[in-house]
Structure 1
Amino acid sequence: MIDYRPLFNLLVEAGGQRWAALLPGQLATAFDETGHGDLRRWRSVVDALPPLTPSVCDLLDQVQIGGDSDISETARSELRERLMALHPWRKGPYRLFGIEIDTEWRSDWKWRRVKDAIAPLRNRLVLDVGCGNGYYAWRMWGAGARMVIGIDPTLLSVMQFQAVRRLHGGDAPVFVLPLGIEDVPADLGIFDTVFSMGVLYHRRSPIDHLLELKGCLRPGGELVLETLVIDGGPDRVLLPERRYASMRNVWFLPSCEALSVWLGRCGFKDVRVVNVEKTSVEEQRSTEWMRFQSLTDFLDPNDSDKTIEGLPAPVRAVFVATA
């Protein structure tokens, strides 16, 4: 398993002593095997991964660790079987020693839409809220970030990240913690860039989430926010009566104008909408590495502009703002 002591030291150096003091206890609680029936099995999968030395590591244009010729076909087959034991893989894709992990989401498409619209990440301290298995964290470090901390309470996603990190080797300053935004001390104020992508609509109180994100940023730091939106003016917000695209935990879907107002009221400046795009069934879909239902199952079969509940189909917007 990952030795988090380097993270504690890096946090202290960055002025995050309050969080560094809390983290050992938070991690011990989150990784308590009595609290999750599959955690021991996932840990055994990660622990069984062989020590490999990648001849190539490309984190700028993709997430590729290792080349096809680094291991034998037999070893690749065994590695593939172990990685498949961590199914379902939702964020990616990954290329690991010749294995193509074709994830549910083409997260590389979203990263392409985001990366040129934000402040350069070189030498920045970055927090990625709701980071999943850490795909974007690798891309952020590949773009030059000094350190990237991802937080996501989904333990399977954290174990997938640990598998990738083990295959990467080395001492990458990239970490994914099994925590939520509520576990970050209020008004920590140390991060140069904070990402929240695909999180806001899962929060019962979106305003509180925006304030939590702002509290993580240093003055002048940058927020990168991606969320579901709807058409309309500054007073237009959709609250699904029950489900949205079969998801139960979807709360507020604002218009771009409404969310811009929310950000302004929370104290953000220079609010910009840098991308608005309808989610396609090519970007989110079932694959061999994620065999459950996906977007095509959640849209009206007779009208792809609507969900199966008759609500507007998913459209996502990317906002950039300054604390």
Structure 2
Amino acid sequence: MTRFDWQSTFDPVLNALDKDGLQDWAELLREQFRRKFDDNPHGDLGRWQDALESLPAVSAASADLTTSAITLDAPTPLSASICEQMEQGLRGLMPWRKGPFRFFGIDIDTEWRSDWKWDRVAPHLSDLSGRQILDVGCGSGYHCWRMYGAGAGRVIGIDPGLLFLFQFLAVKKYLGDVPVDLLPVRMEDLPAGLEAFDTTFSMGVLYHRRSPLDHLLELKGTLRRGGELVLETLVVDGPEGYSLMPEDRYGQMRNVWFLPSCDTLLRWLQRTGFRDARVVDVSVTTTEEQRSTDWMRFNSLQDFLDPEDPSRTIEGYPGPRRATVIATKP
């Protein structure tokens, strides 16, 4: 197996961190990447790398990062053989969970309509122009591209999933040296108290954490003073102080720990030192927003709900409802 050249992949962002006074973080990342890619490489790494490298070069590619699908285009239509090569390479990176994407006329219908989430969140954001942004649990980076399309100065997404990394690199392959990067690390791998970002997003992460308050404190530590937290998580109905802790699985997910009421979530933010916390959206997740597709052929939300009562999960809990909260670090 050809070793993944993580140095050339990540050197631009690591050098940028060095220049921004974040040398300690950059050096920590170099050591983490050495362990991840050199000492203990993932068994599918070679297959994903082959798929990425098989994607054909396209001269003068352009991108539209402001529409529902992240759209890559070329000055002239690609030939049928190049399109076939492109699709084969992209299918080598299945399953595609977060999107949608459009590669030179090839539509990737992802499991999640992540554009719907963006459309709910975007109207409530501060102007992202020039901001340094961290996207925690970014998946394949769909929202990172939308943030950059909204004017962000630099976007760094973090997610430990290596397939997500290669899906992200499939887009970046055609965009060149843009200040958008995905680092395959976990939130707990970041140094405490970075205070390097103007806006930090954590969407779909909090309920996966055994200690939600610790996660909120970690997020707070990434922000500069006056920085904005954008948090989206599963919630349930209930009074302040109430949260649901599943007995085992929730919607067939094992790693779901706490689903608070909205008032409890606001209290958590207040107790962890945020101010001006406000719920800006509450939405039920439907089988139109999350579903199996030709690009993600495994079970999806419809398989995780009670077939007799789709308002509840297959375990009998209230069905998935998500709240978005925005708060400020004093």
TM-score range (shorter-chain normalised) is: over 0.9
Please name the residue that 2:252 is paired with: 246
Query: One-letter code of the match for 1:114?
Result: V
SS of the residue 2:124 aligns to: coil
Query: One-letter code of the match for 1:60?
Result: T
What stretches of structure 1 of length at least 5 have no aligned partner?
none
SS of the residue 1:318 aligns to: strand
Please name the residue that 2:158 is paired with: 151
Q: Deviations over 1:87-122 (max 9, x none)?
A: 100000001111000000000000011111011111
CA contact (8 A) 2:134 2:197 kept: yes
Q: Deviations over 1:153-194 (max 9, x none)?
A: 11111111111111x232011111110011111000010000
Structure 2 CA distance for partners of 1:195 and 1:298, relative to 1, 3 Å: same
Distance in 1, Cα, partners of 2:74 & 2:58: 11
Distance in 2, Cα, partners of 1:54 & 1:108: 26
Please name the residue that 2:208 is paired with: 202
Distance in 1, Cα, partners of 2:267 & 2:38: 41
SS of the residue 1:40 aligns to: helix
Q: TM-score, normalised by structure 2?
A: 0.94
Please name the residue that 2:104 is paired with: 97
Distance in 1, Cα, partners of 2:282 & 2:145: 24
SS of the residue 1:3 aligns to: helix
Query: One-letter code of the match for 2:97?
Result: R
Q: TM-score, normalised by structure 1?
A: 0.96
Structure 2 CA distance for partners of 1:68 and 1:290, relative to 1, 3 Å: farther
- Residue 54 of structure 1 and its aligned partner are, at CA, apart by 4.6
CA contact (8 A) 2:61 2:175 kept: no
Please name the residue that 1:81 is paired with: 88
Distance in 2, Cα, partners of 1:116 & 1:241: 36
Please name the residue that 1:265 is paired with: 271
CA contact (8 A) 1:53 1:169 kept: no
Q: Deviations over 1:184-216 (max 9, x none)?
A: 110000100000000000011111100000000
- Residue 48 of structure 1 and its aligned partner are, at CA, apart by 2.1
Task: Confirm or deny that 1:276 pairs with 2:306.
Answer: no
- Bigger mean CA offset, 312-321 vs 72-81: 72-81
Query: One-letter code of the match for 1:266?
Result: T
Task: Confirm or deny that 1:129 pairs with 2:136.
Answer: yes
Task: Confirm or deny that 1:186 pairs with 2:187.
Answer: no
What stretches of structure 2 of length at least 5 have no aligned partner?
none
Task: Confirm or deny that 1:318 pairs with 2:324.
Answer: yes
Matches within 5 A, 1:214-225: 214-225=220-231
Task: Confirm or deny that 1:43 pairs with 2:23.
Answer: no
Distance in 1, Cα, partners of 2:62 & 2:145: 14
CA contact (8 A) 1:54 1:65 kept: no
Q: Percent identity?
A: 56
- Bigger mean CA offset, 157-166 vs 313-322: 157-166
Please name the residue that 1:64 is paired with: 71
Distance in 1, Cα, partners of 2:81 & 2:95: 23
Distance in 2, Cα, partners of 1:34 & 1:40: 13
Which structure has more relative contact order (CA 8 Å, sep 6+)? It is 1
- Residue 68 of structure 1 and its aligned partner are, at CA, apart by 8.8
Task: Confirm or deny that 1:301 pairs with 2:307.
Answer: yes
Query: One-letter code of the match for 1:104?
Result: E
Distance in 2, Cα, partners of 1:154 & 1:136: 16
Root-mean-square deviation (CA, aligned residues, Å) is: 1.4
Q: How many residues are paired up?
A: 322
- Residue 13 of structure 1 and its aligned partner are, at CA, apart by 3.4
- Residue 124 of structure 1 and its aligned partner are, at CA, apart by 0.5
Please name the residue that 1:5 is paired with: 11
Distance in 2, Cα, partners of 1:60 & 1:294: 27
Structure 2 CA distance for partners of 1:26 and 1:34, relative to 1, 3 Å: closer
Structure 2 CA distance for partners of 1:68 and 1:242, relative to 1, 3 Å: farther
Task: Confirm or deny that 1:170 pairs with 2:176.
Answer: yes
SS of the residue 2:9 aligns to: coil
- Residue 12 of structure 1 and its aligned partner are, at CA, apart by 2.9
- Residue 67 of structure 1 and its aligned partner are, at CA, apart by 4.5
Query: One-letter code of the match for 1:160?
Result: Q
SS of the residue 2:238 aligns to: coil
SS of the residue 1:281 aligns to: coil
- Residue 8 of structure 1 and its aligned partner are, at CA, apart by 1.8
Distance in 2, Cα, partners of 1:269 & 1:17: 30
